[in-house]
């Protein structure tokens, strides 16, 4: 009897679980259906008003695909990613659209982008001004990236309790040699290149003189370019003096950041968000809502959807290599060689592709994966189809490895490129385990039996094998670049050695053929393919997210969680501290994660902070949650 009662209870319990799972599945289905029906941008909603660019995130070359596992666990990335070409297209479309009376930049939650990307957006904003349309900018706090965009506005507003700081490129990197020694870890580093400083954090406690020399030269060019862009857009702004001695200026202003910003002509008006909204409403009209600060706004997503990419004329294929280059089929948002190579080969089979533009915005990565992509591009050239390389913010190491396959390489003056060098890092733990009495011994049939020995340490034979392999990879790198640039391997070695160059210097050295952005690369590709001016369109070789991901993106409970804006100097310092700690853990993780020879420019992250920010976003969430819970209430 007891057995039967137990069986009935167990059966009822299992049925209850089954019914619960079915209910959850139905709820998810209908929620997804709701999201699919409501999330699509509403083209019909575009009416007269101000185009509102509330950039609540980062500018990227290629947005990453939503992570379903993170979504289910509630730790999804809440940092919005804006595709660079979409932002530029929307701004350019507004210049000739009579419905758009002004462009409004809301930069309070803006997290930045690469300097070259922001310059492209700035140039689009300048075209709007040339068309006679006003631009208004607002933020609680302005740092370098936000101000690079705001400088193009007719009026810059700042909150009375806000602030402004120009930090410039550069700063400190973290070095782990002392920590590694204390933990008893041995970092076996194999590299070629005097300037390949990506491995220095594992070998030194400070920056080498060679790395300092290369970094100083690069930072100086980027800073001068940033200042030049600001001065051109806003000639009266006292940028250089403020950046040179901010402490003295702020002290002289009695700590009143708003007064200082006005005195140095960095902003035009001091006012909170409500006052700014009322000001814009006076210019473009008031929305039909009870609040007087609501102006007629055209939503960014709706406007992008209302201005799709052109499809007339011949097709020029565009393949994007964005993020760290890895083997496999990951992405988008990461340079997965399997996925990108497949896109290239599919385009090669298509009859409508008359030329190919490869957009590279990557610090490099796996040499093997870089070569896989390069070979796929080479097959295009074998078919006498012209290939033009377009470099974005950074196209270094493996990014340049890929670029060498092009008929013509284009970059911007501020593009970070070069870094022709390779390395590999492998750890062993014989010192750490030895402290606990753990040793290793055994019988070998060959000199490499049991290698790599992460417990007993690496043998000299293994060191020789690994270093020789890295040197061979570097020789391959030199050879393919030398052949592509019509130089000798020795000439490339002189400008290689892992050194990073700005785009202007790279052009002088022969690593780049001409300056220009993506549109210029399309024009160059069209000319080489014999296409008429204006008789072509870009065909982006990328897969849409599909119904499932698109629907999930619109779920009411999958919306971005509210993220607090930076509300002044202290908030900016706290955010930078979090970012630095985040970077330290990611760099340490990289010691174990990278499994083959790397043509990777880790130091590029110092001048392109967007690179790699997607890695382990859960940690970023954890840090922010901790800082919020630790704050005084």
Point out the residues that are catalytic. Answer: 196, 397
In the beta sheet, which residues pair with residue 142? 164
As to burial, measured by CB atoms within 10 angstroms (0-12 exposed, 13-18 middle, 19+ buried), residue 37 is exposed
* 423 SS3 class: strand
What one-character-per-residue DSSP string does 493-559 give? HHH-TT-EEEHHHHHHTTS--EE--HHHHHHHHHHHTTPPTT-EEEEE-----HHHHHHHHT-GGGS
Let me know: does 59 contact 118? Beta carbons within 8 Å: yes
Q: From CA 24, how far away is CA 442, in angstroms rounded?
A: 55
CB atoms within 10 A of CB 101: 20
Cβ atoms of residues 391 and 415 within 8 Å: yes
Our measurement of the distance from residue 534's CA atom to the centroid of its chain's CA atoms, rounded to an integer in Å, reads: 30
Residue whose pair of structure tokens reads 């000798």 in the numeric block: 488
DSSP 89-150: HHHHHHHT-TTEEEEEEE-TT--B--HHHHHHHHHHHHHHHHTT--EEEEEEEE-HHHHHHH
| Token pair listed for 286 | 């008031």
The values of phi and psi at residue 157, to 5°, are -105, 145
Distance, CA of 408 to CA of 485 (rounded, Å): 10
**Structural tokens at position 276:** 């700014």
443 Cβ partners below 8 Å, 6+ apart?
449
Cα 273 to Cα 290: distance, rounded to the nearest angstrom: 16
In eight-state DSSP terms, residue 596 is S
Q: How many CB atoms lie within 10 A of CB 307?
A: 17
Q: Which two tokens stand for residue 255?
A: 């700590």
Q: Are 549 and 331 in contact (CB under 8 A)?
A: no
Residue written as token pair 């940092």: 79
């Amino acid at each position: 009897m007891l057995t039967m009662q137990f069986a009935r209870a167990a059966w009822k319990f299992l049925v209850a679980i089954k019914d619960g799972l079915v209910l959850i599945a139905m709820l998810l289905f209908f929620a997804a259906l709701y999201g699919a029906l409501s999330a699509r941008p509403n083209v019909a909603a575009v009416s007269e008003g101000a185009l509102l660019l509330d950039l609540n995130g980062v500018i990227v070359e290629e947005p990453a695909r939503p992570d379903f596992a993170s979504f289910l666990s509630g730790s999804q990335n809440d940092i919005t990613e804006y595709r660079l070409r979409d932002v530029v297209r929307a701004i350019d479309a507004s210049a000739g659209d009579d419905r758009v009376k002004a462009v409004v930049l809301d930069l309070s939650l803006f997290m930045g982008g690469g300097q070259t990307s922001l310059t492209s957006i700035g140039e689009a904003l300048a075209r709007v001004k040339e068309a006679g349309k006003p631009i208004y900018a607002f933020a609680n706090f302005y740092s370098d990236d936000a101000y690079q965009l705001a400088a193009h506005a007719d009026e810059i507003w700042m909150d009375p309790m806000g602030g402004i700081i120009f930090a410039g490129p550069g700063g400190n990197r973290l070095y782990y040699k002392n920590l590694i020694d204390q933990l008893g870890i041995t970092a076996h580093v194999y590299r070629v290149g005097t300037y390949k400083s990506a491995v220095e954090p594992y070998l030194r406690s400070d920056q080498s003189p060679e790395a300092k020399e290369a970094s100083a030269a690069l930072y100086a060019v980027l800073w001068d370019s940033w200042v030049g862009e600001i001065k051109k857009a806003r000639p009266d702004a006292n940028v250089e003096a403020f950046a040179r001695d901010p402490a003295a200026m702020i002290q002289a202003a009695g700590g009143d950041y708003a007064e200082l910003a006005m005195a140095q002509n960095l902003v035009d008006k001091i006012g909170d968000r409500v006052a700014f909204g009322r000001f814009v409403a006076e210019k473009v009209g008031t929305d039909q809502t009870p609040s007087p600060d609501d102006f007629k706004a055209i939503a960014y997503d709706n406007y992008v959807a209302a201005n799709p990419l052109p499809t007339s004329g011949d097709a020029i294929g565009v393949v994007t290599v964005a993020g760290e280059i890895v083997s496999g089929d990951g992405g988008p948002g990461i340079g997965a060689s399997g996925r990108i190579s497949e896109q290239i080969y599919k385009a090669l089979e298509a009859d409508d592709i008359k030329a190919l533009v490869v957009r590279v915005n990557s610090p490099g990565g796996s040499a093997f994966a870089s070569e896989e992509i390069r070979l796929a591009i080479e097959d295009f050239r074998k078919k006498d189809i012209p290939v033009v390389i377009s470099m974005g913010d950074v196209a270094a190491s493996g990014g340049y490895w890929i670029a060498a396959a092009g008929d013509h390489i284009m970059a911007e003056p501020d593009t970070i490129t070069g870094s022709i060098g390779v390395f590999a890092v492998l750890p062993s733990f014989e010192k750490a385990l030895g402290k606990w009495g753990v040793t290793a011994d055994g019988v070998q049939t060959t000199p490499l039996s049991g290698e790599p020995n992460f417990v007993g340490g690496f043998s000299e034979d293994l060191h020789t094998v690994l270093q020789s392999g890295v040197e061979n990879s570097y020789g391959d790198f030199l050879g393919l670049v030398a052949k592509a640039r019509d130089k000798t391997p020795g000439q490339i070695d002189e400008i290689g050695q892992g050194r990073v160059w700005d785009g202007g210097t790279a052009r002088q050295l022969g690593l780049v053929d001409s300056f220009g952005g993506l549109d210029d690369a399309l024009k160059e590709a069209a000319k080489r393919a014999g296409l008429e001016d204006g008789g072509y369109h870009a065909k982006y070789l990328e897969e849409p997210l599909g119904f499932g991901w698109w629907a999930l993106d619109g779920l009411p409970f999958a919306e971005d969680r509210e993220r607090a804006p930076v509300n002044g100097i202290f908030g900016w310092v706290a955010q930078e501290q979090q970012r630095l700690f985040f970077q330290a853990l990611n760099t340490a993780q990289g010691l174990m994660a990278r499994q083959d020879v790397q043509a990777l420019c880790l130091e590029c992250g110092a001048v392109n902070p967007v690179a790699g920010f997607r890695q382990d976003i859960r940690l970023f969430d954890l840090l922010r949650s901790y800082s919020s819970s630790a704050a005084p209430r």
